[in-house]
Amino acid sequence: MNTEKIRSSFPILNKLNRGKPIAYLDNAASSQKPEAVIRCIADYYRNSNSNVHRGVYELAEESERKYLKARRTIAEFLSVSEDEIIFTRGATESLNLVAQSFGRTILAKNDVVILTEMEHHANIVPWQLLCEQIGSSIKVVTTLPDGSLNREALDKLLREERVKILSLCSISNTLGTVNPIKDIVSEAHQNGTYVVVDGAQSVAHERSDLKDLNCDFFAFSGHKVFGPMGIGVLYGKKELLETIPPYQGGGDMIDQVSFSGTTFAPVPQRFEAGTPNVAGSIGLGAAIDFLDEIDMGQLRLHEESLLRIAQNGLSEITGFVEHGITKDKAAVLSFTIEGIHPLDLASILDAEGIAIRTGHHCCQPLMEKLGVEATARASFALYNTPQEAERFVLAVKKAVSILR
Ligand SMILES: Cc1ncc(COP(=O)(O)O)c(C=O)c1O
């Protein structure tokens, strides 16, 4: 992989952080944007800005054309059809939409939703809200000590009566665990359980062929896949989308409105009430075009090699604990070091130009399971280099020598 060429597409990587070249290792939180995405958004506002769906003038047609093209680009990238792609504000809104529109349709009182211990709050709280509203319940699949999903526990739960929905992440944002989604989907379907995949952490790192995965819903955010903030996607199988009610009401999602009743637009418009984030959608289309050029096999090897450098380096530190050590693991390294608060560590790394994340990573139930309040997390992406991984290791060692 030509990392230098890739890096040259990301202007922000030339910035200094506290006077030192920035090593941006917080990619699980948000990714940086290539020039093509930045240019595309600026170009839209300079040359094509107008509302979509409404105007007959040339500018409106141009805006609409670009908006529809973005949806097509994303659909092709995910190997699904355009009318199965709903634009949302991000993975969080996508998951709320599934819970409130699909979940509310499918679940009855005393039915069960299965989640896992490694879920982000965005894949827990929407289900809790729904379950409280309709009197259904949540059961949780545990994780094993290495951070992998307890498949035996999942198998057992899937065989229980009244289980209707399984919602789980493809990659854990904290442990890096890569869940075998295709396998799990096939097993869940045999039991008549629908599967919702929180794909927020996987799209930027592995090929997401949704037809092949055969999941029922798949959610992700633009900003984690080199696209803009405030835009995301919910994929849903068309035959399911067509049977569920809208999530929000308003303009653009209707067919006919009268005070005696309203009929709705076909999918996906039915789920996109109000003026959409047109620039965001087009920017996300540009990000997906960028990603489509990347050899995902090579990317995997590249990210794995960065993870190894970090793991090997940090394992020399007394008291270092890596949280999540599965064989199939993304380049996310969550760790604690005995006697050192992750926040103190991150502050010293910041002074060295290194950006990492500390805290509960929106996974408080997982933190409880791990028996820690917080971890430090370095997460790598396609533009990171072995030198950055080595700088990270040296900076952590320096921090430990200061803090101990
Ligand atoms: C696994 C996972 N799911 C969902 C989300 C929520 O994404 P967003 O805040 O972009 O909606 C995140 C963000 O960190 C995540 O890592």
Name, in order, each residue with C-beta under 8 angstroms of 204's C-beta and a sequence gap of 6 or more. Answer: 27, 31, 224, 225, 226, 291, 381, 382
Catalytic residues: 362
Determine which helix (DSSP H) or strand (DSSP E) holds 280, and give its type and residue range. Answer: helix 278-292
Per-residue pLDDT, 162: 97
Last residue of a domain, one of 243, 266, 292: 292
Query: Is the beta carbon of 201 within 6 A of some atom in ligand 1?
Result: yes
Which among 342, 357, 332, 355 is positioned nearest to 400, based on CA atoms?
A: 342
Percentage, residues of the chain above pLDDT 90: 99
CB-ligand 1 contact for 119 (6 Å cutoff): no
Q: Contact, 172 vs 147, CB < 8 A? A: yes
The answer to whether 322 touches 334, Cβ cutoff 8 Å, is yes
**Residue-level pLDDT at 244:** 96
197 within 8 A of 217, measured Cβ to Cβ:
yes
The chain-wide mean pLDDT, for the chain, equals 97
52 phi-psi bin (left φ>0, alpha ψ -120 to 50, beta other): beta
pLDDT band at 45 (very low <50, low <70, confident <90, very high): very high
CA 161–ligand 1 middle distance (angstroms): 30
- How many folded domains does the chain comprise? 2
Residues 220 and 99 in one domain: yes
Same domain, 248 and 356: no
Ligand 1 lined by 198 (C-beta under 6 Å): yes
CA–centroid distance, 167 to ligand 1, in Å, is: 14
pLDDT tens for 348-403 read: 999 999 999 999 999 999 999 999 999 999 999 999 999 999 999 999 999 999 99
Tell me which residue range forms the domain holding 19: 3-30+295-403
pLDDT digits 0-9 by tens, 281-290:
999 999 999 9
Q: What are phi and psi of 185, to 5 degrees?
A: -60, -45
Q: In this model, does residue 1 exceed pLDDT 90? A: no
Using CA atoms, how far apart are residues 144 and 81, in angstroms rounded to an integer?
37
118 and 256, same domain (yes or no): yes
Same domain, yes or no: 105 and 180: yes
CA of 315 to the centre of ligand 1 (A): 28
Q: With 0.75 as the threshold, say if the pTM is over it.
A: yes
What's the angle, vertex CA 30, arms to CA 29 and CA 36, rounded to 5? Answer: 170
Band (pLDDT 50/70/90 cuts) for residue 54 is confident
- Are residues 49 and 22 part of one domain? no
d(CA 37, CA 290): 8
277 and 302, same domain (yes or no): no
Residue where a domain stops, chosen among 256, 275, 292: 292
Q: Write out pLDDT tens, residues 152-198.
A: 999 999 999 999 999 999 999 999 999 999 999 999 999 999 999 99
Tell which residue, 312, 313, 337, 311, has the closest CA to residue 324: 311
* Interacting residues of 366 by C-beta distance below 8 A, sequence separation 6+: 117, 118, 119, 143, 172, 174, 175, 360
> 43 and 20 in one domain?
no
Centroid of chain to Cα 28: 8
CATH number of the domain encompassing residue 362: 3.90.1150.10
362 Cα nearest atom in ligand 1: 14
Identify which of 215, 270, 242, 244 has the alpha carbon closest to the alpha carbon of residue 105: 244
Determine the Cα–Cα distance for residues 384 and 381; give it in Å rounded to an integer.
6
Residue 60: give its domain's CATH number. Answer: 3.40.640.10
Q: Give start and end residues of each alpha helix (H) in 88-246.
A: 91-97, 104-106, 125-134, 151-159, 181-190, 210-213, 238-241
- As a whole number, mean pLDDT of residues 96-108 equals 98
* Cβ atoms 73, 288 nearer than 8 A: yes
Say whether both 251 and 310 belong to one domain.
no
What pLDDT shows up at residue 57? 96
Atom of ligand 1 nearest to the CA of 92: 11
Amino acid (one-letter) located at 388? E
* Atom of ligand 1 at shortest range from CA of 223: 10
Please check whether residue 21 is in contact with residue 353, taking contact to mean a CB–CB distance below 8 angstroms: yes
Cβ count near 82 (within 10 Å): 14
Q: With a 6 A CB cut-off, is 203 part of the ligand 1 pocket?
A: no
pLDDT digits (tens, 9 = 90+) for 67-83: 999 999 999 999 999 99
Tell me the best of 198, 203, 379 to mutate to test the pocket of ligand 1, counting ligand atoms within 8 Å of each CB and taking the most: 198
Supply the residue whose CA is at minimum distance from atom 12 of ligand 1: 200
Question: Of all atoms in ligand 1, which is nearest to the CA of residue 229?
Answer: 10
Quote the CA–CA distance of 74 and 65 in Å, as a whole number: 14
Among residues 363, 386, 368, 369, which one has the least CA distance to residue 377? 363
| Domain boundary pick from 241, 263, 292 | 292
> To test ligand 1's pocket by mutation, which of 30, 93, 120 has the most ligand atoms within 8 angstroms of CB?
120
pLDDT of residue 55: 86
Kindly state whether residues 254 and 270 are assigned to the same domain. Answer: yes
Peptide bond into 276 cis (omega under 30): no
Please tell me the distance between residue 362's alpha carbon and the centre of ligand 1 in angstroms.
Answer: 8
* Strand, coil or helix: 307: helix
Give the C-alpha separation, 358 to 298, whole Å: 29
**pLDDT tens profile 244-267:** 999 999 999 999 999 999 999 999
Query: Ligand 1 centroid vs 401 CA: distance in angstroms?
Result: 34
Rounded CA gap, 172 and 150, in Å? 14
Residue nearest to ligand 1 atom 13, measured at CA: 29
Rounded distance between C-alpha atoms, residue 208 and residue 197, angstroms: 11
CB 201 within 8 A of CB 221: no
84 and 202 both lie in a single domain: yes
Q: Whose CA is nearest to atom 7 of ligand 1?
A: 91
- Are residues 43 and 58 both part of a single domain? yes
Write the Ramachandran bin of 135: left for phi over 0, alpha for psi from -120 to 50, otherwise beta.
left
Rounded distance from Cα 68 to ligand 1 centre (Å): 25
Residue 281 Cβ contacting ligand 1 at under 6 Å: no
